[in-house]
């Protein structure tokens, strides 16, 4: 057990060290993408917990991220607090909203739950993030500008210190991801998975459904909100557009595509969501055989759709799930290298 | 001392009255039987007691607490544990983990310390794991500890359900058809186990089962439900001869005139076989479960497959019907090679398979399920024959299959198979979950099949009845066919069949654990094992000394110790 824990910590450290270096030397656009990738990865990680572990459906994860972003933006722009305090406030706000969204989940399942969370996303997208009544939170049409701020007392201007924000974000992600992997195998994780596998059995075997479902929604929202809270810092400002309904749907689609039960799949999905559209808009035009062509952002959406269909047919456990299967298979084929033996009489 | 007091329990589902003013008393330390025809409301009563559904009327008191407003997990804390008729294990977890969940959920644990793997959590975790292993050991399930529960055959899963319920350290255990799919010997062992559990852990039980041999052997007192009402109650012996109960549920037993039916063997051995299986091997993942299966069924012949749980019968049927791909060998049906053909295609050829899990769609109504047969058949099928066979289904035609009682679901599966006018029906655990009268009726139906020239390949827990109705039988053992021959011969050679069962099923430990520990000085081997696993020799010696001084069995002291460790 402990040796596995040490192994995981090492893996997280290595991943952090490698990923923290990658954007160095690239232009600002790529650095922004890198930050964005981690923000989206947080949102996908929140789905790993909620859907992958606990089996609950949510189509409003972008709303949670948005609440995190707006709360952090407001805290930073109006109260000029240290940015890490703003992040904490964003996480707390998202957590509370998550608990509220969790209430209907106590009664609803599957498609009805999906519709309700969709409704919540719609309300925030169309009303809360855009209405005058909530200007105190959203900062009006212009949103909040987070030009100059500091984190842990260090100067952290959004345009100049993008790398600083990225590194902090990445470090936080590694920690949360590690906790999530640990959670999976721990007692609490098992209680979550019990709810996923059979709610009926979980309840009669002593798992408090109310508590654990609410906790799952709260924690999931907090994780999405933590990523979102960094958005104003990375982007310099915050607007409703990144957190609209469609992003929520995209989270759901990409989480499933990459493998909704696996923590590393969230990182993979985040990178996919942030880089692919940008690469497409940068290099997706030119001339081919004398004809001009242009691959726009729309093509990305279509590609995700097609990939999702292909994946559901060929890799039902997601891209990462399939990769993992293969590696495990190879390991057990080689034998002895820690491939767990399963005894069946 | 009344432990459980149920008063005037009433449950309605739309127009159906599932329970109609049922009252019941269970004394501490008692094993109470609950029997009745399919759909009588037994599972519904369990659901009310464990808090899964809220009754329309009625009260439940457990150890003086009113349970009206207690959610299921609170009832679990009070000490009410249950098993499920339609298995509800957590399929993606290992068997050991399945046992650890309720232990942890009932202890005081914290999500954040769990995620951080704080020492407190790791310690509790290890203690739970040890206890899980001990329980698995007593139930002879230790070799499955690391297997995913969802991968196990249904018979084993049923035992894991019991283990999981025991892991909750219950005071009242609700068992919903624990003997379904078990053969006579396994049932006998289950009976011993239940007695032992009661003696040793002071658990009271409420037992639902259609296997009268189990109910009569284990229960102190029996309640009989019919149409949601209490039909009778009394000592097992009295219930057995109660004319009302016989009429509604048990049926006449006098029918059983040994040998008479069996002499009718009208099969024409010279006929070409309808189904021919040669050198079949099949399995899952990296595992080969059955091999070298040679088997043949002629038109109009009834063939039984018998053998202990896990001997490979289910896997063989699956490989024949195309649910899984055979690894090697060939399957010929009606003169055609159907090896590796898709399951739908094989069904269209007239080979119908009723799998263990019944293969029903929970969100379709009974009528729609039966109408679906037209799809495979390619023409409109009249569904009335199914209703004639099982009149009960006619009243339920609009109900969703998922909400039917276990036995009613089995009726739907059988009815659907019959409608598709098969040439060969393969039935896995045919009588599972069915009331004795219905089972008897089914065996009659099978005789009708034979007269109509429909062949039947049957996996059945009631070996005697199966051999009564069958022409021939195959005895499975360890994944291959150990023995085959005319049913008459096999039945006469009872010892042979019994021996074959023992081959896979016998386990000295569970029997010893069940028998032992009645007297003060008999050391229970299973429990000593637990002690030796988790405690250093010094502590163990101290333990033995203490047991001696207090004049109690070492096992009892050991359990006390385990509990202390767990609570810390
Ligand atoms: N959710 C539901 N909706 C409608 N009817 C239901 C529902 N649940 C149970 N019923 C009906 O209530 C009756 C009692 O069901 P129950 O499961 O208690 O029977 P049972 O005595 O356990 O039968 P079996 O021996 O077949 O398991 C059945 O006729 C069933 O169809
Ligand atoms: Mg039932």
Match domain A8-302 to its CATH number in 3.10.20, 1.20.1250, 3.40.50, 1.10.3470.
Answer: 1.10.3470
Nearest to A206 among B89, B106, B310 (CB): B106
Query: Which chain B positions have a beta carbon within 8 Å of A332's beta carbon?
Result: 286
For chain A, domain boundaries = 8-302
Q: How confident is the model at residue B520 (pLDDT cuts 50, 70, 90)?
A: very low
Question: Which residue in chain B is spatially nearest to A5 when comparing CA positions?
Answer: B117
Which residue puts its alpha carbon closest to atom 19 of ligand 1? B39
Q: How confident is the model at residue A315 (pLDDT cuts 50, 70, 90)?
A: confident
Mean pLDDT of all residues in A159-187: 87
Ligand 1 atom with minimal separation from the B228 CA: 14
Q: Are strands B16-27 and B2-13 parallel, antiparallel or unpaired?
A: antiparallel
Mean pLDDT of all residues in B421-439: 85
pTM over 0.95: no
Using the predicted structure, report yes or no on whether residue B261 has a pLDDT greater than 60. Answer: no
Mean pLDDT of all residues in A79-106: 92
Query: Which chain B positions have a beta carbon within 8 Å of A186's beta carbon?
Result: 114-115, 117, 121, 125
Interchain CB distance below 8 Å, A332 and B75: no
Q: How far is the CA of A292 from the centre of ligand 1 (A)?
A: 67
Question: Which residue in chain A is spatially nearest to B100 when comparing CA positions?
Answer: A187
Closest CA to B410 of B465, B470, B366: B366
Answer yes or no: are the C-beta atoms of B95 and B137 closer than 8 Å.
no
Using the predicted structure, report yes or no on whether residue B262 has a pLDDT greater than 80. Answer: no
Q: How confident is the model at residue A215 (pLDDT cuts 50, 70, 90)?
A: very high
Nearest to B287 among A190, A196, A344 (CB): A344
Using the predicted structure, report yes or no on whether residue B556 has a pLDDT greater than 80. Answer: no
Ligand nearest to the CA of B392: 1
Using the predicted structure, report yes or no on whether residue B147 has a pLDDT greater than 70. Answer: yes
3-state secondary structure of B172: strand
Q: Is B117 an 8 Å CB contact of chain A?
A: yes
Q: Which of A201, A205, A208 to mutate to test the interface with B (most CBs of B within 10 A)?
A: A205
How much is the pLDDT for B251?
Answer: 76
Q: How confident is the model at residue B510 (pLDDT cuts 50, 70, 90)?
A: very low
How much is the pLDDT for A159?
Answer: 66
Of the listed ranges A65-74, A288-297, B201-210, the least confidently predicted one is A288-297
User: How many angstroms separate the Cα of B311 from the Cα of each of B220, B274, B284, B477, B480?
Assistant: 34, 24, 14, 5, 8
Using the predicted structure, report yes or no on whether residue B400 has a pLDDT greater than 70. Answer: yes
What is the ipTM metric for this complex?
0.83
pLDDT tens, B345-364? Answer: 888 888 888 887 777 888 89
Nearest to B88 among A179, A193, A201 (CB): A201
Of residues A121 and B568, which shows the higher confidence score?
A: A121
- Encoded tokens for A47: 């789905």
Query: Which chain B positions have a beta carbon within 8 Å of A196's beta carbon?
Result: 92
Using the predicted structure, report yes or no on whether residue B476 has a pLDDT greater than 60. Answer: yes
Of residues B223 and B559, which shows the higher confidence score?
A: B223
Which residue puts its alpha carbon closest to atom 2 of ligand 1? B403
How much is the pLDDT for B560?
Answer: 66
Question: Which residues does residue B174 pair with via DSSP β-bridges, in sequence order?
Answer: B82, B206
Of residues B561 and B365, which shows the higher confidence score?
A: B365
Mean pLDDT of all residues in A133-153: 78
pLDDT tens, A31-62? Answer: 888 899 999 999 999 999 999 999 999 999 99
Of residues B110 and B13, which shows the higher confidence score?
A: B13
Distance from CA of A310 to the nearest CA of B (A): 22
Interchain CB distance below 8 Å, B114 and A197: no
What domains sit in chain B, N to C, each tagged with a CATH number? 91-153 (no CATH), 273-350+422-513 (3.40.50.300), 523-567 (no CATH)
CB atoms within 10 A of CB B349: 16
| Mean pLDDT, chain B, whole residue set | 80
Q: How confident is the model at residue B307 (pLDDT cuts 50, 70, 90)?
A: confident
Nearest to B92 among A183, A197, A204 (CB): A197
How much is the pLDDT for B343?
Answer: 85
- Encoded tokens for B543: 């333990």
Using the predicted structure, report yes or no on whether residue B189 has a pLDDT greater than 90. Answer: no
What letters, b where the CB count within 10 A reaches 16 and e where it falls short, cover B387-425?
A: bebbebbeebeebebebbbbbbbbbbbbbbbbbbebbbb
Using the predicted structure, report yes or no on whether residue A63 has a pLDDT greater than 90. Answer: yes
Using the predicted structure, report yes or no on whether residue A172 has a pLDDT greater than 90. Answer: yes
**Which residues in chain B (51-90) have CB-CB distances under 8 A to chain A?**
51-52, 71-73, 75-77, 81-82, 84, 88-90
Q: How far is the CA of B402 from the centre of ligand 2 (A)?
A: 12
Q: Which of B50, B51, B75, B114 to mutate to test the interface with A (most CBs of A within 10 A)?
A: B114
């Amino acid at each position: 057990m402990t040796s596995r824990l040490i192994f995981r910590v090492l893996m997280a450290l290595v991943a952090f060290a490698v990923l923290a270096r990658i954007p160095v030397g690239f232009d600002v656009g790529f650095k922004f993408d890198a930050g964005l990738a981690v923000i989206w990865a947080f949102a996908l990680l929140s789905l790993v917990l909620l859907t992958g572990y606990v089996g609950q459906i949510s189509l409003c994860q972008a709303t949670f991220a948005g609440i995190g972003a707006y709360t952090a933006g407001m805290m930073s722009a109006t109260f000029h607090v240290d940015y890490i305090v703003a992040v904490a406030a964003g996480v707390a706000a998202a957590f509370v909203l998550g608990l509220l969204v969790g209430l209907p989940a106590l009664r609803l399942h599957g498609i009805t739950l999906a519709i309700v969370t969709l409704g919540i996303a719609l309300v925030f997208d169309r009303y809360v993030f855009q209405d005058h009544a909530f200007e105190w939170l959203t900062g009006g049409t212009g949103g909040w500008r987070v030009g100059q701020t500091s984190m842990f007392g260090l100067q952290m201007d959004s345009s100049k210190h993008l790398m600083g924000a990225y590194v902090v974000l990445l470090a936080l992600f590694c920690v949360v991801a590690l906790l999530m992997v640990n959670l999976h195998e721990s007692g609490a994780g098992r209680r979550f998975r019990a709810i996923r596998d059979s709610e009926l059995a979980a309840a009669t075997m002593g798992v408090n459904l109310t508590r654990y479902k609410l906790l799952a929604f709260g924690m999931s929202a907090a994780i999405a909100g933590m990523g979102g809270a960094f958005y104003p810092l990375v982007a310099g400002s915050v607007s409703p557009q990144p957190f609209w309904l469609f992003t929520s749907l995209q989270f759901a689609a990409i989480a499933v595509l990459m493998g909704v039960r696996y923590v590393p799949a969230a990182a993979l999905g985040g990178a996919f969501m942030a880089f692919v559209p940008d690469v497409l808009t940068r290099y997706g035009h030119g001339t081919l055989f004398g004809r001009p062509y242009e691959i726009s952002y729309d093509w990305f959406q279509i590609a995700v759709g097609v990939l999702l269909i292909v994946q559901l047919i060929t890799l039902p456990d997601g891209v990462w799930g399939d990769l993992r299967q293969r590696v495990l298979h190879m390991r057990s084929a080689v034998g002895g290298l820690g491939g767990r033996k399963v005894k069946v009489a | 001392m009344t432990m459980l007091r149920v008063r005037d329990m009433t449950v309605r589902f739309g127009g159906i009255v599932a329970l109609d003013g049922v009252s019941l008393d269970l004394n501490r330390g008692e094993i109470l039987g609950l029997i009745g025809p399919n759909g009588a409301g037994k599972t519904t009563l369990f659901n009310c007691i464990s808090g899964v559904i809220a009754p329309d009327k009625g009260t439940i008191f457990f150890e003086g607490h009113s349970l009206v407003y207690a959610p299921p997990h609170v009832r679990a804390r009070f000490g009410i544990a249950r098993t499920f008729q339609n298995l509800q294990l957590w399929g993606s977890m290992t068997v050991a983990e399945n046992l650890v969940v309720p232990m942890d959920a009932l202890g005081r644990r914290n999500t954040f310390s769990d995620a951080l793997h704080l020492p407190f959590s790791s310690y509790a975790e290890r203690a739970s794991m040890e206890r899980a292993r001990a329980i698995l050991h007593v139930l002879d399930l230790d070799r499955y500890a690391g297997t995913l529960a969802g991968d196990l055959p249904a018979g084993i899963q049923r035992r894991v359900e019991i283990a999981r319920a025991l892991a909750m350290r219950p005071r009242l255990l609700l068992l919903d058809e624990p003997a379904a799919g078990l053969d006579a010997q396994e049932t006998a062992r289950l009976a011993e186990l239940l007695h032992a559990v009661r003696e040793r852990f002071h658990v009271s039980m409420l037992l639902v089962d259609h296997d009268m041999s189990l109910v009569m052997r284990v229960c102190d007192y029996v309640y009989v439900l019919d149409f949601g009402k209490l039909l009778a109650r009394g000592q097992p012996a009295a219930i057995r001869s109660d004319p009302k109960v016989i009429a509604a549920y048990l049926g006449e037993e006098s029918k059983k005139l040994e040998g008479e039916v069996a002499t009718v063997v009208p099969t024409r051995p010279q006929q070409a076989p309808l189904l021919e299986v040669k050198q079949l091997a099949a399995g899952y993942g990296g595992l080969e479960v059955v091999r070298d299966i040679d088997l043949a069924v002629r038109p109009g012949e009834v063939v039984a497959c018998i053998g202990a749980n896990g001997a490979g019968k289910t896997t063989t049927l699956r490989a024949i019907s195309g649910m899984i791909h055979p690894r090697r060998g060939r399957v010929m049906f009606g003169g055609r090679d159907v090896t590796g053909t898709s399951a739908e295609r094989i069904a269209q050829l007239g080979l119908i398979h009723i799998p263990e899990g019944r293969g029903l769609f929970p969100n379709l109504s009974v009528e729609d399920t039966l109408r679906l047969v037209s799809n495979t058949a390619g023409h409109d099928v009249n569904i009335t024959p199914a209703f004639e066979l099982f009149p009960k289904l006619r009243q339920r035609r609009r109900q969703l299959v998922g909400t039917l009682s276990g036995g009613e679901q089995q009726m739907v599966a059988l009815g659907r198979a019959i409608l598709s006018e098969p040439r060969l029906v393969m039935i896995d655990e045919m009588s599972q979950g069915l009331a004795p009268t219905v089972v008897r009726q089914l065996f009659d139906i099978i005789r009708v099949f034979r007269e109509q020239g429909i062949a039947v390949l049957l996996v059945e827990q009631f070996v005697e009845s199966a051999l009564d109705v069958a022409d021939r039988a195959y005895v499975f053992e360890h994944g291959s066919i150990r023995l085959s021959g005319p049913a008459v011969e096999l039945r006469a050679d009872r010892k042979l069949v019994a021996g074959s069962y023992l081959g896979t099923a016998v386990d000295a430990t569970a029997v010893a654990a069940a028998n032992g520990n009645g007297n003060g000085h008999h050391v229970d081997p299973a429990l000593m094992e637990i002690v030796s696993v988790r405690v250093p020799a010094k502590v163990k010696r101290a333990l033995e000394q203490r047991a001696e001084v207090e004049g109690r069995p070492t096992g009892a002291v050991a359990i006390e110790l385990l509990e202390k460790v767990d609570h810390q």
